């Protein structure tokens, strides 16, 4: 990045090369260290194994957790990861490809918008800032739905903005058709966003778009968010899956839309309760050094010209470049809507505000540009990139179990006819490192009391409500495990759990030597007959 504010634009004949180079470089940067870490418990293991099960079962409509219908999230992540497993094999970096794709999509969407309506240098700088934020970089290498949603939201908002800016009205008539293509693109990304994480992919872009139109006083374009070109792609992309899921599972509609959307947003019983200022602190820390650089630039701007010290004031007052002013306003609305929307609920997860990072990256560039500190941009980008690499390596070698430790599971003589048994915990990632087998048996006290917490037991209990008979065969207590072992005396069982859990559920196993140690977790090998008659009555 030669400069954060250079306005020199390359000749048109090199435009494709520049865009293609950005696309390749961003992809390589995000992918380079995606293989370092093993899967993290619980999220990465949960979603990666669900995608792997989708591939093995051939059921592309119903996501499954431990073989049970799992409708916490829509299926786009599972579709992408399962396709990746089919094409490239079962590897950790393949499980992270949907998140990598989301980060790449966010960076390239921001780049296209800014190159078209600001300048090439601002577009390049903003994309570089975005992908070198540790917040973005680490989320891109984490297998869940948050970064995939952020990419779809960014592409949707950028497409909607381009549709709005492309509409040319004179004497009540619209000139040109480019706006309709961008409007349809916004609908496509909204539909894919719905399949990534649900209704939020429609609500948030709609809020950003509507507030921006009002601030811009674009009264002649108020109808754009309601146009059929925007909504038809949403219905065509998202509608079939919703219809098929409801046809197969009668309680899907209420559980997915009411429980997992409205009750989760308004309720206080879900995980990770945090104060209202949580996301402000998270963004400030997780996007360093760029947030520190932006604050320093804003302070310098305010010292030089108090009334123009902030991007908000620059956007609010008349500007010599109307398009830049429009972009400033869009980015401010975009950032504020995302942060405020997710600050309201009691439950707050770090990944929820990832869609606020693209406008933050733009704000960093604009503030540094106004401060005249462009020449320092390369040094800050290098520092940010180094921080990303250090975090990826440290988290991959220190903060989580080593990759060799988990891969040791693959050295066990496990056969497809064997059965996996998990004691008092859902070890999501274990099936990822083993050959295809029947769904694991999970042993615990499954009585209704104590299952209201938003944890692995509630996930499995909720999933079992869609398939009660199957749930009864997979979610066992100690007596149920004993009965299963007696019914399958020759079957090889691989028991995973802590020593304390084994003592409570299978005392005879706890006294045996484990076949493998995974930190505090042990893996025991035995035949069903060895566990028959040895369970405890609970």
Q: Assign 428 to helix, strand or coil.
A: coil
- DSSP annotation string for 339-362: HHHHHSSSB--GGGGGGGHHHHHH
DSSP, res 444: S
DSSP, res 458: H
Q: What is the pLDDT of residue 171?
A: 40
Q: What is the pLDDT of residue 78?
A: 97
pTM for this one? Answer: 0.89
Q: What are phi and psi of 441, to 5 degrees?
A: -90, 130
Q: What is the pLDDT of residue 311?
A: 59
Instruction: Report d(CA 199, CA 21) in Å as an integer.
Output: 34
Q: What is the pLDDT of residue 409?
A: 85
Dihedral sign (CA 438, 439, 440, 442): negative
Q: What is the pLDDT of residue 174?
A: 59
Q: What is the pLDDT of residue 5?
A: 42
Instruction: Report d(CA 386, CA 196) in Å as an integer.
Output: 31
Q: What is the mean pLDDT of each run of 10 residues along the chain (538 residues)?
A: 44 67 93 87 89 94 93 95 95 95 97 92 93 95 95 97 78 64 95 95 95 90 88 95 93 85 66 82 91 80 60 54 86 96 86 95 88 72 88 73 71 90 91 90 78 77 91 92 89 90 83 82 86 54
Cis peptide before 74 (omega within 30 of 0): no
Domain positions in the chain: 12-34+96-397, 405-531
User: Phi-psi category of 170—alpha, beta or left, where left has phi over 0 and alpha has psi -120 to 50?
Assistant: beta
Q: What is the pLDDT of residue 356?
A: 96
Q: Which residues are CB-contacts of 511 (< 8 A; sequence separation ≥ 6)?
A: none
CB 64 within 8 A of CB 50: yes
E-strand stretches of 33-138:
64-65, 68-69
């Amino acid at each position: 990045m030669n400069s954060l504010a250079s306005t020199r634009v390359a000749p048109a004949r090199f435009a494709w090369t520049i865009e293609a180079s950005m696309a390749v470089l961003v992809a390589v940067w995000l992918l380079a260290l995606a293989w370092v870490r093993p899967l993290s418990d619980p999220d990465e293991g949960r979603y990666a194994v669900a995608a792997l099960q989708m591939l093995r079962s051939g059921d592309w409509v119903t996501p499954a957790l431990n073989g049970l219908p799992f409708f916490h999230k829509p299926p786009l992540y599972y579709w992408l990861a399962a396709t990746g497993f089919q094409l490239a094999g079962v590897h950790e970096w393949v499980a992270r490809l949907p998140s990598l794709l989301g980060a790449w999509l966010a960076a390239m969407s921001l780049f296209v918008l800014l190159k078209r309506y600001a300048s090439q240098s601002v577009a390049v700088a903003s994309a570089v800032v975005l992908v070198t934020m540790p917040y973005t970089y680490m989320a891109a290498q984490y297998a869940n739905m948050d970064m995939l949603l952020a990419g779809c939201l960014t592409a949707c908002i950028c497409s909607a903005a381009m549709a709005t800016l492309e509409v040319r009205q004179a004497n009540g008539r619209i000139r040109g058709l480019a706006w309709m293509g961008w409007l349809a693109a916004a609908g496509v990304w909204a539909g894919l966003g719905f399949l990534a994480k649900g209704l939020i992919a429609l609500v948030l872009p709609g809020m950003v778009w509507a507030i921006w139109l009002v601030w811009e006083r674009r009264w002649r374009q108020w109808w754009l968010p309601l146009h059929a070109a925007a909504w038809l792609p949403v219905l065509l992309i998202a509608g079939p899956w919703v219809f098929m899921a409801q046809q197969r599972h009668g309680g899907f509609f209420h559980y997915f839309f009411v429980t997992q959307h409205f009750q989760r947003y308004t309720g206080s019983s879900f995980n990770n309760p945090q104060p209202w200022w949580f996301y402000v602190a998270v963004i400030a820390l997780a996007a360093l050094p760029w947030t520190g650089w932006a604050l320093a630039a804003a302070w310098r701007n305010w010292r030089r010209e108090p009334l123009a010290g902030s991007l908000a004031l620059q956007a609010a007052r008349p500007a010599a470049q109307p398009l830049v002013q429009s972009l400033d306003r869009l980015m401010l609305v975009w950032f504020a809507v995302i942060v405020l929307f997710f600050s309201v609920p009691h439950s707050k997860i770090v990944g929820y505000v990832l869609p606020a990072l693209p406008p933050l990256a733009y704000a960093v560039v604009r503030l540094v540009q106004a401060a005249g500190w462009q020449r320092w941009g390369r040094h800050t980008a290098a520092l940010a990139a180094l921080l990303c690499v250090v975090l990826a390596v440290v988290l991959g070698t220190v903060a989580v179990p080593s990759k060799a430790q988990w891969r040791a599971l693959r050295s066990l003589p496990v056969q497809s006819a064997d059965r996996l048994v998990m004691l008092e915990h859902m070890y999501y990632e274990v099936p990822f490192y083993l050959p295809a087998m029947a769904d694991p048996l999970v042993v615990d006290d499954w009585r209704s009391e104590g299952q209201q917490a938003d944890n692995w037991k509630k996930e499995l209990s909720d999933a079992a409500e869609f398939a009660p008979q199957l749930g009864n065969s997979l979610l066992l207590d100690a007596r149920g495990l004993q009965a299963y072992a007696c019914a399958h005396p020759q079957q090889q069982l691989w028991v995973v759990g802590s020593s304390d859990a084994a003592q409570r559920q299978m005392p005879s196993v706890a006294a045996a030597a484990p076949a493998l140690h995974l930190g505090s977790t042990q893996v025991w090998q035995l035949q069903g007959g060895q566990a028959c008659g040895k369970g405890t009555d609970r």
